[in-house]
Every structure is written in structure tokens, then in C-alpha cells.
Amino acid sequence: MAESQPREEPERNDLQPDSAESHPEPADSASVPMSVEERLIEVAYGAAQMAYAPYSGLKVGAAVQTAEGDIHTGCNVENASYGLTVCAERNAVARMVEAGGRLIRRVAVVTDKMGAVAPCGACLQVIAEFGGADTEVVIIDETGTAVAVPISTLLPKQFRL
């Protein structure tokens, strides 16, 4: 029996948004340095492309930036048994933890559909577990504008042991 070769996966942080049409770049983007927030949004869109969302059709991507500046991405992975679906944010946090990260500075959450998508309660709690009161959650509002919201605003009564 022939031994199967492992598939090479693309580097998640190098993925590009789905199309320049839906997420246009400034005309002179080559001369304008990208902010950390813009980079997080860009790689989150790349992660969303990899989502497995055959039931909802909603592809979500997340990018987590650690206190050290490292970026980890995740996408939603749906399951026919809906309770087994894992959100993009929790997958990104899991990748961060696996890489040794323990403190989240900011998280960007995007979808392939227009309109705001904020993390669900479970994801907010997981982000809060590894974040501080100043941890930012960056979402894209209905107009396509990035809005940074402190985790303490989205989840004011975090569960703590």
C-alpha cells in the first residue's frame, strides 16, 4: 500500500480577501503602510475563505493578535449537528494557545456577507479568558467600516473563577 503524502496547507496569514471588488484597497495602497487593524481584517477575510459553512452559508473569519504582535487566524467549521459547530473566533484562539500565546490584544471578525457580525456569547467569553479590559474586538459595520469595540463593552459581566 502506498504511503500518502501530507498535503501542504497554505500559510493562513498570507491569504487575501475573496475579491478586490467586495473589499477594495485604496488606489495608492502600495505607498500606504497597512495598520495592524487593516492587516487583521485582511487575514480574517482570508480565513473566511477557508470556512466550512454548508448549512448557514455564512463564512466567518477571525484573526487574533497577541500581546507580542503574533497573528493567528480561524474560520467557522459547521456540522450537521449544529451544537458541534465551532466559531471562527474560538478556532483562532485555539491556534493562538497551541502556538504558546496567552494574551489577546485585539480580534478582528469578518464575514463574506455585508453587514456587522459580532462574536457570539461563547466566543466573547473565550476572548475574555485570554484578554484584558482593553482587548479590542474589531467588527465591520453595515457600511463596511471597521469599528473597534472593547471586550468589556460587548461582555460587561465576564465569568471569572
How many residues does the structure list for the chain? 161
Burial string for 67-102 (b: 16+ CB within 10 Å, else e) reads eeeebbbbbbbbeeeeeeebbbbbbbbebbeeeebe
Residue 104's H or E segment, with its range, is strand 104-111
Could you give the angle at the alpha carbon of 50 between the alpha carbons of 74 and 108, nearest 5°?
40
Distance from C-alpha of 104 to C-alpha of 64, rounded to nearest angstrom: 7
Q: Looking at 42, 78, 89, 136, which residue is catalytic? A: 89
Neighbours of 122 (CB within 10 A): 12
Is 89 labeled as catalytic in the residue annotation? yes
Residue pointed to by grid coordinates 495592524: 36
Give the Cα separation of 126 and 131 in Å (integer): 9
- Give the residue numbers marked as catalytic: 89
